[in-house]
Structure 1
């Protein structure tokens, strides 16, 4: 599996408090004007004084500036910078593998749920983003009642998305009770097999921790 990053090489910063270029430019311009107006030892003393002040300001890095909220706070980026935003939800594509049960737990620990596909748009989004990422566990299984496929979100009926099964699936070969997402359709697999997984949660629940 590979990690999908919506934010290129890292998170967007939160109020990093660096001294702005306009401020530095104004200070240096003032020093230059003083250098033009004064001569000799007096000029040297004044230049030294102001240069020391500029150096102090640059060292401080303006730590007293209040932190400004990032315009991208709602995109879930505080969690490893690997969440992707789509239609008011955030999706996390794992970079390592687990069995189905452990994948469910991993998503819960991240404040989400092993992905439940609720619409054609969801299906297309996952199909597009996972084409080059291999197969992924989704939140569908018949572990509770053999032959009755249920989403982890029991309030969502399977009938609305049953058309996304792959050809000849589910075949329940050798007690295959859990479902993986594949480009050519869903497939039932033994739950103990390790695969990548996809978590989903509401964008409103994104953590800033």
Structure 2
């Protein structure tokens, strides 16, 4: 440091500095150093007043021209708008698919196997058709089974049985069963008796009566051989089955004019 200071002092001695100041006072002229300093400042100011490039753009992304930034911004805006349009289209297509799925489910749910008595043998509902189109839930199994008897009917052995939800008298019940292609149920064995007892909780008309004969007879004109009376049948001339009771003794007799539910039977061979 001391050596450098000595060099600078040697370059500009006090005598020379005083001499320059004396010349400036006598002649009114600027020294050479002052002229060079003013020239440099003037060049700097002129650059700032008349810039040749975008200083602010260069400060944001040095080395990138302004046109490059405009192109990039334009592409970003374009792809952003395209993404929004595609998203809206996806949402619209999803809504259409959901609406069509719901509509298809409703249509399939409203379809039923055709009534046998209203169709030909070729048009009748068969097991394969029901398995494919009209799956029905079995009441006593957690699975889907095909019903060969049609909607609302229960298949057992060689017959189909229908338990009504409406109440009619004995004669009207028989007419309604005949409209469905069958008749009031005939209980021919203990298996059928147990099956029908377990199917419903109501009192149901069955095809047993003693009208004018004093002998209980089935509607197919066969005599009663095996009976399941709860008590001696002396209250009327038509027979009822009480569901959800002991199948060994759940028959009741009553007047044929009273209203009750009923059980229809349709023999499988009749419509297959």
The answer to whether TM tops 0.5 is yes
Aligned to 2:198: 128
Q: CA RMSD in A?
A: 2.5
Q: Is the Cα contact below 8 Å between 2:206 and 2:263 reproduced in 1?
A: yes
Please give the secondary structure, in 2, of the residue aligned with 1:127: helix
Could you report, residue by residue, the CA deviation over 1:153-198 in whole angstroms, capped at 9, with x for unpaired residues? 11x3311x22x111x221x23xx11010013411100100000000
- Structure 2 counterparts to residues 1-209 of structure 1, below 5 A: 70-71=127-128, 72=130, 75-77=148-150, 81-130=151-200, 132=201, 134-145=202-213, 147-154=214-221, 156-159=222-225, 161-162=226-227, 164-166=228-230, 168-170=231-233, 172-173=234-235, 176-182=236-242, 183=245, 184-206=249-271
Please give the secondary structure, in 2, of the residue aligned with 1:75: coil
Please give the secondary structure, in 2, of the residue aligned with 1:191: coil
CA spacing shift, 1:126–1:98, aligned 2, 3 Å: same
Question: Shift of residue 75 of structure 1?
Answer: 1.2
User: TM-score scaled to structure 1, two decimals?
Assistant: 0.57
Structure 1's consecutive aligned runs of 4 or more residues displaced over 2 angstroms after TM superposition are 67-70, 204-207
Unaligned runs of 5+ in 2: 1-99, 105-122, 131-145
Unaligned runs of 5+ in 1: 1-57, 62-66
User: TM-score scaled to structure 2, two decimals?
Assistant: 0.44
Q: Choose between structure 1 and 2: higher helix proportion.
A: 2
Please give the secondary structure, in 2, of the residue aligned with 1:198: strand
CA distance in 1, matches of 2:191, 2:223: 16
CA distance in 1, matches of 2:210, 2:126: 44
- Corresponding pairs, count: 130
Question: Shift of residue 202 of structure 1?
Answer: 1.2
